[in-house]
């Protein structure tokens, strides 16, 4: 990375890193509204697999997605230790079931790279990569991860 | 101009447009009173006036032409016959379009603008449209300080000024005029008191004084005269430019018996400065306002967000109260503690508050119906048909979300009725009908629901063609034997569109299924009846409020769900001999001799295997005007009011489910939509697959 | 402080007037139509009145006539604010007793200076 310090390299972005389906991902902090412990949800009829159901978030009914399943990984085996990340996806609020939340990362915006080497159908779910201590964290694209029910089913 | 002020303007314009539309409608159907015409004129006039402040020149100039014609009518120079009324209605539409465009910052003129404007101008004919050339720049007020063309050389003016009695009556002060003159340059003032009579005969209302002034200024004569613009006819005024002798020499000549006085001394000399009432004119009582025939009740404009926040809080309060009630019940307190009664009181109070708050959001359907008047006009124009729109119950109030949410489905249904229902004038006459079709739009409150009826007196549905279309589109098997009502209801199937006559009007790629989805999303239901040659009727039934619903809490595959109580006819615990086996696993309920289809809710929703009907409880629901279905569920636990939480924003459309609610334990429960459930079950039977149905629903969101 | 009564049935115009005049340090009372205007006038001592002509219940001419026919503050300056520019209207307003007139849309500076002029508070 270029060590030159112009205004742009100074700009920092914060991410929450998390584990889903045994893999590391991260979400921009500004998108995360809160983190809750898993509790059973109300299932929806004819819902796609990854849509676990709906939960009550202080009076609002929001969908909860199994993030691993949504990313094409194995279904999460539910325990009370699992957590639900409440995130904003555009106008909507959704819950994401993940294995665990590990850390808050602060990285320069320039450290986020595009994903030219990734391919596959779910590429649009990842909007970039952060290389950190020799590990690559995938940055989730919230809009694509949390589609409407119709989009998931399509 | 600030945004807030713009908002005020556009909000006010909407109100004025509504008043205008109402007035025009009354004029059209002959129920107009004299005041109606004036109100219409004023509405257009007010829009013009305020639009000028925002330099909306399109709006101003169109409103001006419109207003000129209205003025001709109100002063009996023009007779508002049917043609004129049509033009006025269309003009109202154009004005609304122009305002909408202005609000959205668009500059594209409405299509028909040119033609309508021309027609208005033609009608105005002799009226002086051009006389008042509208100036969109703020007008000068006759006291211009700008003197672009003023020569650098100062001029000397001499003025003779004698105000009339009326001058003082109109609130003018000579001193104020002199002060204005002094803005232009150096002024000297001399008061001529020769006209003053003896003190004892002075009439305090009369004007006795005159003034002579000199003014040395760089301004021209026009500017000097401008100072007197308001008092032109209220005084004798002479202004003459004096030849200059030399700079600084002020020729104070020709003022015999004049008393020199400074401008600021003048008021003290003036008769009208005396405050006491004159003995000659007996005191007149303070003007009392004439009685208004019907004073409008005071209203309060509140930001919608505030109301919605309040509604949300009240919703939470009700949920919270339900939680408390449940906890109290679980605690098993002795009845003597009285706590249960207190909780019950709390619940009643919470309901009261909620009803009160919901009333704030209630609005009459009038604006919605008025919009339909326009849709009718446009559709009739486009199809060359004649249609009389008759509206009833415009003052029926519904939640404003309903008013908004119904606009699209109603528009579609009204267009459909004109496009497909009402026949051309020739065809109508040939079948012995009046050449103009009749479209009835009514709103009313029926047993806790709002009912909206759209009824035409057209040809009725062409059932043969509808069934053929449904077969061709693979929506029903070719050999399906359907009742008339079942055929009519095919219209609501996703993907159905009477393609035989897709016109620019109703065939806009949306069908009745979209209208139905929109109505279902509002918690409502729609049904259809039709008689060949007599017409078609759509009945929309909507809940009064969108926030609460009376529901039966039922168990479906161990999950609590809500059946809207409004749809429930009765609940039955049938014995096994009440079921009739039709073969292939199909069973109907034998209910006092009639057969009602059974819908296994859990299985239709994909929750699990078919419930053994002998163990089931059956909720008999109404699914149409006269059709019923039996929902098989595994238990009923309670009947109570629940707070409706929409799924549309965060989740999307869910087949068979209209919304959700939150129960006393904080869990989400889904609210069943009996109509679509029955449809889903029927399609499982008919097609042995529900894929088509689901595909249709995905696009509906 | 100059206290002005502004009578207009248009909410937008009332708001515009209020802002323009309050910015100029004047005190503004508004009324929604002629009847309300006249009753507001009866209850307070205004330095000037601005009135629209075309209004429900009582028009601007009625307002002027009512004020001029009263015995309290009857010589208050009254400015007519209207979109009409025809000479007949001015003549009528003058006959009724108007002090001056302004044309909508109005220029704030000119409005304020006219008001100061007619109230003698330049």
The ipTM of this complex is 0.83
Say how far apart CA C20 and CA C109 lie, in whole Å. 8
Please judge whether B42 and C120 are an interchain contact, meaning their C-beta atoms are less than 8 angstroms apart.
Answer: no
Q: What does the pLDDT average to over B68-87?
A: 85
The answer to whether A150 contacts chain B (CB < 8 Å) is yes
Q: How would residue B61 be classed by pLDDT, with cut points 50, 70 and 90?
A: confident
Please judge whether B143 and C113 are an interchain contact, meaning their C-beta atoms are less than 8 angstroms apart.
Answer: yes
The answer to the question of residue C47 being in a domain is: yes
Nearest beta carbon to residue B650 from set A41, A45, A93: A93
Q: What does the pLDDT average to over C4-15?
A: 90
Residue C86 pLDDT:
73
Q: How would residue B685 be classed by pLDDT, with cut points 50, 70 and 90?
A: low
**Residue B292 reports pLDDT greater than 70:** no
Distances (CA, A) of B7 to B17, B57, B102, B103, B249: 15, 18, 12, 9, 58
Q: What does the pLDDT average to over B332-355?
A: 79
Query: The domain A28-153 belongs to what CATH superfamily?
Result: CheA-289, Domain 4 (2.40.50.180)
- The answer to whether B678 and B623 have CB atoms below 8 angstroms apart is yes
Omega within 30 of 0 (cis) for the link into A138: no
Please judge whether B141 and C110 are an interchain contact, meaning their C-beta atoms are less than 8 angstroms apart.
Answer: yes
**Residue B608 reports pLDDT greater than 80:** no
Least confident of A118-132, B332-346, B498-512: B498-512
Residue B257 pLDDT:
41
Quick: pLDDT tens for B212-263: 888 888 888 888 888 888 888 888 888 888 765 444 434 343 433 434 444 4
Please judge whether A92 and B670 are an interchain contact, meaning their C-beta atoms are less than 8 angstroms apart.
Answer: no
Q: What does the pLDDT average to over B374-382?
A: 86
Provide the residue range defining the domain that includes C16: 3-115
Q: How would residue B284 be classed by pLDDT, with cut points 50, 70 and 90?
A: very low
Quick: pLDDT tens for B454-491: 999 998 888 888 888 888 877 788 887 888 888 888 88
Nearest beta carbon to residue B53 from set C12, C84, C97: C12
Nearest beta carbon to residue B292 from set C35, C94, C110: C35
Nearest beta carbon to residue A149 from set B652, B666, B670: B652
Residue A2 pLDDT:
46
The answer to the question of residue C121 being in a domain is: no
Q: What does the pLDDT average to over B382-407?
A: 85
Q: Is B437 helix (H, G, I), strand (E, B) or coil?
A: strand
Top pLDDT among B126 and B454 is at B454
- Structural domain total, chain C: 1
Burial (CB < 10 A; 0-12, 13-18, 19+), residue B293, is: exposed
Q: Do chains A and C have 3 or more beta-carbon pairs under 8 angstroms?
A: no
CA of B679 to nearest chain A CA: how many angstroms apart? 15
Q: Which residues pair with C50 in a beta bridge?
A: C6, C79
**Residue B86 reports pLDDT greater than 60:** yes
Q: Which residues of C touch B229 (CB under 8 A)?
A: 100
Least confident of B185-194, B572-581, B593-602: B572-581
Top pLDDT among B86 and B251 is at B86
The answer to whether B274 contacts chain C (CB < 8 Å) is no
**Residue B133 reports pLDDT greater than 70:** no
Q: Is A124 helix (H, G, I), strand (E, B) or coil?
A: helix
The answer to the question of residue C56 being in a domain is: yes
Residue C50 pLDDT:
94
Q: Which residues of C touch B301 (CB under 8 A)?
A: none
Please judge whether C77 and B172 are an interchain contact, meaning their C-beta atoms are less than 8 angstroms apart.
Answer: yes
Please judge whether B654 and A43 are an interchain contact, meaning their C-beta atoms are less than 8 angstroms apart.
Answer: no
Of B566, B369, B367, B544, the closest CA to residue B453 belongs to B369
Nearest beta carbon to residue B132 from set C11, C56, C86: C86
Least confident of B507-521, B560-574, B665-679: B507-521
**Residue B145 reports pLDDT greater than 80:** no
Q: What angle do CA B290, B292, B298 make, to 5 degrees?
A: 125
User: Chains with 3 or more CB pairs closer than 8 angstroms to B?
Assistant: A, C
**Residue A13 reports pLDDT greater than 90:** no
Least confident of A80-89, B552-561, B606-615, C91-100: B606-615
- The answer to whether B314 and B357 have CB atoms below 8 angstroms apart is yes
Quick: pLDDT tens for C60-119: 999 999 998 887 888 899 999 888 767 787 888 888 889 888 887 788 888 888 888 888
The answer to the question of residue C122 being in a domain is: no
CA of B9 to nearest chain C CA: how many angstroms apart? 5
Q: What does the pLDDT average to over A51-71?
A: 88
Average pLDDT value over all residues in chain B:
76
The answer to whether B494 contacts chain A (CB < 8 Å) is no
Residue A122 pLDDT:
53
Say how far apart CA B14 and CA B408 lie, in whole Å. 19
Q: How would residue B272 be classed by pLDDT, with cut points 50, 70 and 90?
A: very low
Interface probe with B: pick from A40, A46, A63, most Cβ of B within 10 Å: A46
The answer to the question of residue C120 being in a domain is: no
The answer to whether A149 contacts chain B (CB < 8 Å) is yes
**Residue A38 reports pLDDT greater than 80:** yes
Say how many CB pairs under 8 Å bridge A and B: 84
Percentage, residues of chain B above pLDDT 70 = 80
| Residues 37-96 (A) with a CB less than 8 A from some CB of B | 41-47, 53-56, 58-63, 91-94
Residue A53 pLDDT:
92
Residue B454 pLDDT:
93
Q: Which residues of B touch C52 (CB under 8 A)?
A: 49
Q: How would residue B613 be classed by pLDDT, with cut points 50, 70 and 90?
A: low
The answer to whether C23 contacts chain B (CB < 8 Å) is no
Q: What does the pLDDT average to over B277-283?
A: 43
The answer to whether C104 contacts chain B (CB < 8 Å) is yes
The answer to whether B146 contacts chain C (CB < 8 Å) is no
Q: What is the CATH number of the domain that holds C69?
A: 3.40.50.2300
Considering only alpha carbons, which residue of chain B is nearest residue A64?
B651
Q: What does the pLDDT average to over B173-199?
A: 83
Across B75-177, where does the E strand assignment appear?
Answer: 155-163
Least confident of A51-65, B281-295, B373-387: B281-295
Say how far apart CA B344 and CA B414 lie, in whole Å. 46
DSSP of B561-605, one letter per residue?
EEEEGGGEEEEE---GGGEEEEETTEEEEEETTEEEEEEEHHHHT
The answer to whether C115 contacts chain B (CB < 8 Å) is no
The answer to whether B338 contacts chain C (CB < 8 Å) is no
Residue C51 pLDDT:
94
Please judge whether B651 and A54 are an interchain contact, meaning their C-beta atoms are less than 8 angstroms apart.
Answer: yes
The answer to whether C16 contacts chain B (CB < 8 Å) is yes
- Give the strand pairing for B628-633 and B594-600: parallel
The answer to the question of residue C11 being in a domain is: yes
Alpha helices in B417-462 (DSSP H): 425-430
Top pLDDT among A130 and A67 is at A67
CA of C14 to nearest chain B CA: how many angstroms apart? 10
Burial (CB < 10 A; 0-12, 13-18, 19+), residue B483, is: exposed
Please judge whether B50 and C84 are an interchain contact, meaning their C-beta atoms are less than 8 angstroms apart.
Answer: no
The answer to the question of residue C76 being in a domain is: yes
**Residue C23 reports pLDDT greater than 80:** yes
Residue B1 pLDDT:
53
Please judge whether C71 and B50 are an interchain contact, meaning their C-beta atoms are less than 8 angstroms apart.
Answer: no
Please judge whether B138 and C99 are an interchain contact, meaning their C-beta atoms are less than 8 angstroms apart.
Answer: no
User: Chains with 3 or more CB pairs closer than 8 angstroms to C?
Assistant: B
Alpha helices in B266-399 (DSSP H): 266-269, 304-331, 339-361, 366-383
Q: Is B392 helix (H, G, I), strand (E, B) or coil?
A: strand
Please judge whether A45 and B667 are an interchain contact, meaning their C-beta atoms are less than 8 angstroms apart.
Answer: no
Say how far apart CA B482 and CA B480 lie, in whole Å. 6
Q: What does the pLDDT average to over B492-505?
A: 55
């Amino acid at each position: 990375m270029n060590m030159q310090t112009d205004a742009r390299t100074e700009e920092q972005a914060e991410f929450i890193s998390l584990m889903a389906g045994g893999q590391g991902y991260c979400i921009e902090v500004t998108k995360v509204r809160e983190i809750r412990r898993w509790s059973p949800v109300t299932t929806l009829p004819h819902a796609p697999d990854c849509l676990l159901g709906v939960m009550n978030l202080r009076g609002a009914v929001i969908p909860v997605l199994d993030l691993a399943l949504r990313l094409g990984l194995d279904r999460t085996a539910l325990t009370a230790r699992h957590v639900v990340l409440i995130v904003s996806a555009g106008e909507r609020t959704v819950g994401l079931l993940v294995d665990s939340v590990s850390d808050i990362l602060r990285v320069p915006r320039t450290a986020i790279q595009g994903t030219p080497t990734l391919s596959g159908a779910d590429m649009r779910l990842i909007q970039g990569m952060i290389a950190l201590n020799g590990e690559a964290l995938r940055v989730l694209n919230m809009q694509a991860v949390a589609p409407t029910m119709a989009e998931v089913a399509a | 101009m600030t945004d807030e002020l713009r908002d005020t303007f556009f909000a006010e314009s909407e109100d004025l447009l509504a008043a205008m539309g109402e007035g025009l409608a009354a004029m059209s159907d002959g129920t107009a009173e004299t005041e109606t015409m004036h109100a219409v004129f004023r509405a257009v006039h007010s829009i013009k006036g305020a639009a000028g402040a925002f330099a909306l020149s399109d709006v101003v100039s169109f409103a001006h032409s419109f207003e000129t014609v209205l003025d001709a009518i109100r002063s009996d120079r023009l007779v508002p016959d049917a043609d004129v009324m049509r033009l006025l209605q269309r003009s109202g539409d154009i004005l609304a379009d122009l305002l909408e465009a202005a609000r959205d910052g668009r500059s594209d003129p409405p299509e028909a603008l040119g033609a309508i404007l021309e027609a208005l101008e033609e009608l105005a004919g002799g009226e002086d449209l051009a006389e008042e050339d509208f100036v969109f720049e703020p007008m000068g007020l006759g006291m211009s300080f700008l003197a672009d063309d003023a020569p650098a050389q100062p001029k000397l003016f001499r003025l003779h000024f004698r105000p009339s009695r009326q001058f003082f009556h109109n609130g003018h002060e000579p001193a104020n005029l002199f002060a204005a003159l002094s803005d232009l340059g150096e002024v000297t003032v001399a008061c001529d008191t020769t006209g003053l009579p003896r003190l004892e005969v002075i009439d305090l209302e009369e004007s006795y004084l005159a003034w002579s002034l000199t003014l040395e200024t760089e301004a021209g004569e026009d500017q000097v005269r401008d100072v007197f613009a308001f008092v032109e006819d209220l005084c004798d005024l002479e202004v003459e430019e004096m030849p200059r002798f030399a700079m600084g020499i002020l020729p104070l000549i020709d003022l015999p018996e004049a008393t020199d006085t400074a401008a600021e001394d003048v008021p003290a000399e003036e008769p009208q400065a005396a405050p006491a009432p004159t003995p000659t004119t007996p005191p007149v009582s303070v003007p009392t306002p004439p009685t208004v025939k019907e004073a409008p009740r005071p209203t309060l404009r509140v930001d919608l967000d505030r109301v919605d926040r309040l509604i949300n809080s009240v919703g939470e309060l009700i949920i919270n109260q339900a939680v408390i009630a449940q906890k109290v019940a679980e605690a098993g307190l002795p009845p003597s503690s009285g706590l249960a009664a207190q909780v019950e009181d709390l619940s009643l109070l919470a309901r009261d508050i909620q009803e009160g708050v919901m009333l704030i959001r209630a609005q009459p359907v009038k604006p919605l119906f008025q919009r339909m008047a326009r849709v009718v006009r446009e559709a009739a124009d486009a199809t060359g048909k004649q249609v009389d729109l008759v509206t009833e119950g415009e003052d029926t109030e519904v939640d404003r979300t309903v008013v908004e949410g119904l606009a699209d489905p109603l528009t579609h249904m009204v267009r459909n009725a004109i496009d497909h229902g009402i026949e051309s004038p020739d065809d109508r006459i040939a079948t012995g009908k009046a050449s103009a079709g009749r479209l009835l739009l009514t709103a009313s409150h029926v047993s806790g629901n709002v009912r909206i009826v759209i009824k035409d007196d057209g040809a009725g549905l062409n059932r043969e063609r509808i069934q053929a279309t449904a077969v061709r589109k693979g929506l029903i098997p070719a050999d399906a034997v359907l009742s008339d009502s079942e055929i009519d209801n095919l219209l609501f199937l996703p993907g159905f569109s009477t393609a035989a006559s897709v016109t620019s009007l109703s065939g806009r790629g949306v069908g009745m299924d979209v209208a139905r989805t929109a109505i279902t999303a509002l918690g409502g239901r729609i049904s259809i009846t039709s008689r060949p040659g007599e017409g078609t009727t759509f009945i929309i039934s909507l809940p009064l409020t969108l926030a609460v619903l009376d529901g039966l809490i039922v168990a479906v595959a161990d999950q609590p769900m809500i059946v809207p109580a409004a749809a429930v006819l009765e609940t039955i615990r049938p014995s096994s001999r009440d079921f009739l086996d039709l073969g292939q696993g199909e069973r109907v309920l034998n209910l006092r001799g009639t057969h009602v289809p059974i819908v296994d809710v859990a299985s239709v929703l994909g929750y699990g295997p078919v419930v053994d009907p002998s163990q089931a409880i059956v909720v008999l629901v109404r699914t149409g005007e006269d059709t019923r279905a039996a929902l098989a569920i595994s238990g009923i636990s309670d009947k109570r009011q629940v707070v409706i939480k929409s799924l549309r924003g965060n989740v999307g459309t869910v087949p068979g489910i209209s919304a959700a609610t939150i129960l006393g334990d904080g869990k989400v429960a889904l609210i069943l939509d009996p109509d679509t459930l029955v449809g889903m079950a029927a399609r499982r039977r008919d097609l042995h697959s529900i894929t088509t149905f689901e595909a249709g629903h995905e696009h509906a969101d | 402080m100059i206290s002005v009564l502004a009578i207009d049935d248009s909410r937008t115009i009332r708001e515009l007037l209020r802002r323009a005049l309050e910015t100029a340090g004047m005190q503004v009372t508004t009324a929604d139509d002629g009847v309300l205007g006249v009753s507001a006038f009866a209850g307070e001592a205004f330095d000037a009145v601005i009135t629209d002509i075309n209004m429900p219940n009582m028009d601007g001419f009625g307002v002027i006539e009512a004020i001029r026919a009263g015995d309290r503050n009857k010589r208050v300056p009254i400015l007519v604010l209207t979109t009409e520019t025809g000479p007949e209207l001015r003549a009528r307003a003058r006959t009724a007793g108007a002090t001056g007139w302004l044309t909508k849309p109005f220029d704030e500076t000119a409005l304020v200076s006219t008001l100061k002029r007619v109230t003698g508070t330049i």
